[in-house]
């Protein structure tokens, strides 16, 4: 019997458009001999709008926009009615990036509905969305990373030049200023001169009340896809070469001049080392399903420094996740989707055996 896959996409975050691009690729790649595909659009107001069963190829991501006159509450009710109307062989495939999508909020909602869903659970999603928390977790588990400092909006004083001077003295220049809870490099600034640090801080605070200031690491940024539950496996590493100063939002999703090198050849022993490091990050953060781990390879000493872990990586045609498994084990993207759905069902069945009420 075919499974019903509900692809949830859109959302209220600034990564709304990226979500639609990812959803288009996923919807088009799901094997219709195995699955009935039901896209569900979450608009920028948070309304859930069923697209209906999708048997055709989506030619343009803009075709996934759906409108409704229903209220927020009634739109969610409509989705739930359509979901439970089908047989019980249903799986949710969330592809909402950023706020409310990969920060544990959506995952908590799905847990309350007691439905199987692809990707990470509540704890790992919330934890990995907050770069300050993950950095602290890395420190506690001896996971190498770049030097950083945390600023909290409530306590930040733009006139405290002594504090800024101490940060620059510790981190050096350039410094990357970034929001703690934002993806796709949104709100990130590379600061090369002290005079520009204040505007960079102001920009980052527009997206979050906590921001990180990190030392610049000169070298390649390796990207490794990790999939699985209790026994994760890591892909070969890849890198993305861009014309911009760093791999920003445009470069990740819209720049056709971005060059992806997959796989990226490393020196003897380094590939295995970086794969094991990526798996350690994955298990330390209690991940399941999938994630992408970004790791710097510093030019000066070839030291590996973990940059971040992304629990809801992009799945567009430009995204590294869609390329890495092809070169690792010759998996097509549709094969990867099959595996992710299988991981979701396995975790769901395992968790069903737990006693959650007395």
Task: Kindly indicate whether the domain formed by 3-101 is annotated with CATH number 3.30.70.920.
Answer: no
For residue 217 the two structure tokens come to: 């690491």
Tell me, what's the pLDDT at 183? 64
Peptide bond into 263 cis (omega under 30): yes
Question: Token pair of 223, please?
Answer: 């990207």
Contacts of 246 (CB under 8 A, 6+ apart): 176, 185, 188, 190
In angstroms and rounded to an integer, the radius of gyration of the C-alpha atoms of the chain is 21
Output the pLDDT for position 72.
Answer: 96
Instruction: Report how far residue 267's alpha carbon sits from residue 149's, in angstroms, rounded to the nearest whole number.
Output: 32
DSSP codes of every residue in 131-173: HHHHHHHHHHTT--B--EEEEEGGG--TT-HHHHHHHHHHH-S
Residues in the chain: 358
Q: What is the reported pLDDT for 354?
A: 81
The per-residue pLDDT for 86 is 67
Q: How far apart are the first and last CA of the chain?
A: 35
Q: What is the pLDDT along the chain (358 residues), one digit of tens a residue?
A: 899 999 999 999 888 999 999 999 999 999 999 999 999 999 999 999 999 999 999 999 999 999 999 999 999 999 999 888 866 789 999 999 988 999 999 999 999 999 999 999 999 999 999 999 999 999 999 999 999 999 999 999 998 999 999 999 999 999 999 999 876 678 999 999 999 999 999 999 999 999 999 999 999 999 999 999 999 999 999 999 987 665 545 555 455 678 999 999 999 999 999 999 999 999 999 999 999 999 999 999 999 999 999 999 999 988 899 899 999 999 999 999 999 999 999 999 999 888 776 6
DSSP tag of 117: B
pLDDT for res 313: 95
Nearest to 314 by CA among 273, 245, 258, 231: 258
Domain ranges of the chain: 3-101, 147-215, 219-352
**193: how many CB neighbours lie within 10 A of its CB?**
8
Separation of alpha carbons 235 and 343, rounded Å: 17
Q: What is the dihedral sign for C-alpha 102, 251, 264, 301?
A: negative
Q: How far apart are CA 48 and CA 122, in angstroms?
A: 20
Residues 6+ apart with CB under 8 A from 354: none
Dist. CA 187–CA 179, nearest whole Å: 6
What are all long-range contacts of 83-86, with beta carbons under 8 Å and residues at least 24 apart? 83/6, 83/115, 86/4, 86/36
> Is the distance from CB of 253 to CB of 314 less than 8 angstroms?
yes
Residue 175: which of 153, 155, 204, 132 has the closest Cα? Answer: 204
Output the CA angle 302-304-305, nearest 5 degrees: 130
Write out the two tokens for 44: 């920028």
Of the candidates 16, 24, 115, the one whose C-alpha atom is nearest the C-alpha of residue 333 is: 24
Indicate the class that CATH gives domain 147-215: alpha beta
How high is the pLDDT of residue 1? 81
Which of 36, 11, 35 is CA-nearest to residue 23? 11
Tokens at residue 172, please? 């050096």
Do 3-101 and 219-352 have matching folds?
no
- The secondary element (H helix, E strand) that includes residue 338 is helix 333-352
Quote the pTM value.
0.93
Q: Which tokens sit at 32?
A: 């219709």
> Tell me, what's the pLDDT at 182?
77
Class of domain 219-352: alpha beta
The single residue listed with the structure tokens 């409704």 is 68
């Amino acid at each position: 019997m075919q499974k019903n896959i509900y692809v949830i996409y859109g959302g209220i975050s600034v990564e709304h458009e990226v979500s639609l691009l990812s959803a288009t690729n996923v919807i088009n790649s799901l094997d219709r001999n195995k699955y009935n595909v039901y896209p569900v659009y979450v608009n920028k107001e948070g309304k859930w709008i069923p697209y209906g069963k999708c048997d055709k190829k989506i030619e343009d991501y803009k075709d996934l926009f759906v409108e409704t006159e229903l209220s927020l509450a009634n739109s969610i009710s409509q989705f739930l009615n359509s979901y439970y109307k089908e047989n019980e062989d249903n799986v949710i495939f969330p592809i909402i990036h950023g706020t409310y999508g990969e920060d544990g909020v959506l995952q908590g909602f799905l847990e309350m509905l007691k439905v199987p869903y692809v990707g990470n659970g509540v704890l790992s999603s919330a934890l990995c969305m907050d770069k300050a928390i993950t950095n602290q977790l890395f420190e506690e588990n001896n996971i190498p990373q770049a030097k950083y400092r945390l600023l909290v909006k409530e306590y930040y004083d733009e006139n405290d030049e002594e504090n800024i001077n101490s940060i620059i003295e510790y981190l050096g220049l350039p410094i990357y200023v970034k929001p703690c809870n934002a993806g796709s490099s949104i709100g990130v600034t590379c600061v090369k001169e002290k005079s520009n640090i204040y505007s960079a801080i102001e920009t980052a605070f527009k997206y979050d009340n906590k921001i990180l200031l990190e030392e610049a690491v000169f070298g390649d940024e390796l990207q490794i896809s990790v999939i699985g539950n209790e026994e994760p496996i890591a892909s070969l590493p890849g890198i993305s070469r861009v014309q911009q100063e760093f791999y920003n939002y445009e470069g990740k999703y819209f720049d056709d001049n971005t060059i992806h090198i997959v796989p990226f050849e490393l020196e003897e022993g380094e590939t295995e080392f970086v794969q094991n490091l990526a798996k350690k990050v994955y298990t330390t953060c209690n991940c399941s399903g999938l994630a992408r781990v970004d790791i710097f390879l510093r030019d000066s000493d070839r030291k590996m420094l973990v940059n971040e872990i992304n629990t809801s990586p992009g799945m567009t045609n430009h995204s590294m996740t869609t390329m890495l498994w092809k070169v690792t084990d010759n998996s097509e993207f549709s094969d990867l989707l099959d595996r992710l759905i299988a991981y979701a069902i396995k975790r769901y069945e395992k968790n069903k055996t737990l006693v959650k009420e007395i």
